Structure 1
Amino acid sequence: MDGLPPTESERARQRAAMFRRRRIVFGVVALAVVVLLVLAGIALGGLISRLVQDITGESDPGPAAVSATPTPSASPGPSEEPSSGPSPSGSASDDAGGSGSAEPTESPSGKPSDDAGDKPSEEPSPSPSSTAPEALEPPCRGSAIQVTAGTDKTVYDRGERPELALKVMNLSQEPCTLNVGTTEQVFEVTTAEGDDVFSTEICQADPQDQDMVLVPHDEQTALFEWNRRNSEKDCTERGELVDPGSYRLTVTLGDHSSQPVAFRLTDDKPDGQG
């Protein structure tokens, strides 16, 4: 009947349905609020971070660059220590009527200097082995340079080859630069009477310039081993062995010449040989 009021059970069902609708609506509203709060938090965090960066002027550090320490390369040599003086390298390998076993090198006369029966070889030219400095001092004055001749012995038996020396010294109190190359070096041997016997100027092969700083009162030496043969004007000819006797050595470096030094060649056999 339409006019009858709802029963108690119907009212209970209506209240239950209304409660469920309210709970669903409340859950949807709560979920929407949570989502909004999350989104607002993210946006607020980004804004705060940006404000901090603007205030401090700092930004997030990037990855650090990897740096490598360069390894120095080996220097050539010639990076090398200069020798004690402008000493020539090499020695004659031929015998002057006797024994000799040094390695053959280039000859200033361009001629073989071995004796008959030995293999031909060439005589060395005096070549400084020191290295020219990078920063040179002023040129040496003539009065500051002293050039001296010398030999390793005063008497040479048969087959012994004289080692001739050119010594140069800076007598001033300041370092100076001098060309000590083979273009400036001359070793001359004469007889006791003054007759020409041998000179490195004759048929010299490939002379070289070499500037060297001479420290005050520090003696530098260039060595040259003479094979006891004379010099021939014809560079294609081999010089002859000189006779036993007295000889003199004079050395020259540029405009500076030494006093002669005497030595003697004999025909005696070295000690220990029959």
Structure 2
Amino acid sequence: MLHPVGPLPAAVYWRRRLLVLALLLALLGGGGWLGVALLTGSDDEAAAAEATAASTPAGAPALDRVVPSLASVQTPTPPPTSAPAPAPAAPAPPEQEAGAVCRDDVLTLEVRTPGTVPAGSRPTLELVVTNTATVPCTRVLDKGLQEMVLLDAAGNRLWGSNDCFPEASSDTRTLAPGEQVAFPLVWGGLTSEPTCTAERVPVAPGQYVLRARLDTKTSPDAPLQIT
């Protein structure tokens, strides 16, 4: 190989060998370049495919194509609720006519007591009538229309001012606005009942209330303690 033999000069054979060697080197270099190019191109295509896949929005799930979104579903609007109507106000009582009969609603009754009295004593009680109207009015204040009763804690009636000593009188008065009229009454401290036939005994110590009446008008209860 290193010492070719032939009819031609040795330089010719060396040039041929160098040419073949150059061709081989060229082939080898071109093949390597082609392989590198192929590998690089594959990597670039893969990267481009990945970028394209990343930039492309994912398709909607199959369920979204079948079931509409909640935003597209219209729910019925409930009818507006109206505020409850205010309760009708109680009608105001008619105004008291000046000089006419005093109505019950313009009169107040009050029982005044000493508060505490000894058992068996004779306390003085008072029935007070007041005209609360802004005009004068008239009212019959006869003794027969007045009554005071004593009640225990259970509401049992123990005494009444008209049971044994009813009184009669003719007393019609014109009451000025704000005027008060007091009617004193002495109670003997004994029990009684409307027929006044039962035995009368001293009321035992305890807590009681007194209630008064003027015809159809009734007073609030007033406490009375008997010791």
TM-score scaled by length of structure 2 = 0.53
Distance apart, 1:164 and its partner CA = 1.4
Shift of the 232–254 alpha-carbon distance from structure 1 to 2, 3 Å rule, reads closer
Question: Secondary structure of 1:216's partner?
Answer: coil
Shift of 1:256: 0.9
Aligned to 2:103: 141
**Preserved CA contact (<8 Å) 2:102 2:139:** yes
Q: Is the 8 A contact 2:162 2:194 kept in 1?
A: no
2:132 is matched by which residue type in structure 1? L
Check the 8 A contact 2:125/2:187 in 1, yes or no: yes
2:99 counterpart letter in structure 1: E
Name the residue aligned to 2:131.
170
Shift of residue 160, structure 1, vs aligned partner: 3.1
Counterpart Cα distance in 2 of 1:224 and 1:150: 10
Q: Percent identity?
A: 25
Q: Could you tell me how far apart the structure 1 residues matched to 2:194 and 2:105 are?
A: 34
Give the drift of 1:220.
Answer: 0.9
Distance 1:146 1:233, change over 3 A: closer
Q: Distance in 2 between matches of 1:223 and 1:174?
A: 26
- Give the Cα separation in 2 of the matches to 1:150 and 1:206: 20
Q: Which residue of 2 aligns with 1:188?
A: 149
Q: Give the letter for the 2:152 counterpart.
A: T
Contact 2:163-2:195 within 8 A present in 1 as well: no
Query: What's the CA shift for 1:184?
Result: 1.0
Structure 2 partner of 1:245 = 206
| Partners of 1:184 and 1:209 within 8 A in 2 | no
Aligned equivalents of 1:170 and 1:227: distance in 2? 30
Contact persistence 1:179–1:212 (CA under 8 A): yes
How big is the shift at 1:204?
Answer: 4.0
Distance 2:122 2:193 in 1: 19
Deviation for aligned residue 1:251: 0.5
Q: 1:201 to 1:137 in 2, by over 3 A?
A: same
CA contact (8 A) 2:135 2:177 kept: yes
Q: Is the 8 A contact 2:99 2:135 kept in 1?
A: no
Query: What amino acid does structure 1 have at the position aligned with 2:111?
Result: A
Amino acid paired to 1:154: G
Quote the residue 2:179 is aligned against. Answer: 218
Number of residues of Structure 1 aligned to a counterpart in Structure 2 = 130
Check the 8 A contact 1:161/1:225 in 2, yes or no: yes
Q: Report how far residue 206 of structure 1 moved.
A: 4.3
Return the letter of the residue paired with 1:148. E
- Which residue identity is paired with 2:204? D
Instruction: Report matched runs for 1:84-123 at 5 Å.
Output: none
Residues 139, 233 of structure 1: alpha-carbon distance in 2 compared, 3 angstrom cutoff: closer
1:149 partner amino acid: V
1:156 is aligned to 2:121: no
C-alpha separation in 2, matches of 1:222 and 1:172: 20
Q: 1:158 to 1:179 in 2, by over 3 A?
A: same
Distance in 2 separating the partners of 1:197 and 1:237 = 11
RMSD (Å) for aligned C-alpha atoms: 2.0
Pairwise CA distance, 1:237: 5.5
Which residue pairs with 1:235 in the alignment?
A: 196
- Equivalent residues of 1:232, 1:238 under 8 A apart: no
1:142-199 deviation per Cα after TM superposition (whole angstroms, max 9, x unaligned): 2211111111x21112443222111111111111110111111010111122111001
Instruction: Show structure 2 runs of 5+ residues with no match.
Output: 1-97
CA-CA distance at 1:235 after TM superposition: 3.3
